[in-house]
Amino acid sequence: MPFRLNLANGLRGAALALLIGGLGVWLATGAHLGFTQTSVVTMKRDEITGIDYPERRPRLVAGIEFPLGTAGAAILLALLSLAAERRNPAA
């Protein structure tokens, strides 16, 4: 059966791309199991006094809600593809 480009297949492809993209962004930014962070704290040592102090740097670390949210959106797109397929079974 040759591949046909129709609404149902397009929605399934978009769902798969969204799922892989969300998981990829989450893994690429650190796979943090908490909520998303927009800054990272690193400890620095003062060379003169030897005292450690925290320093904040701006950096995005995607939290667990990122892959879960994209997975929810992907499921919604997949369900819409089933509805689109049922609506037009001859295609």
In a domain, 57, yes or no: yes
**Per-residue pLDDT at 7:** 85
For the chain of 91 residues, list the mean pLDDT of each consecutive stretch of 10.
Answer: 72 94 93 91 92 93 93 94 75 53
CB 40 within 8 A of CB 57: yes
Residue 43 lies in a domain: yes
What DSSP assignment string belongs to 20-86? HHHHHHHHHTT--SSS-EEEEEEEEE-TTT--EEEEEEEEEE--THHHHHHHHHHHHHHHHHHHHHH
Confidence (pTM): 0.75
**Domain for residue 77, yes or no?**
no
Number of domains in the chain: 1
Range of the domain at 36: 7-61+82-87
Q: What is the pLDDT of residue 1?
A: 46
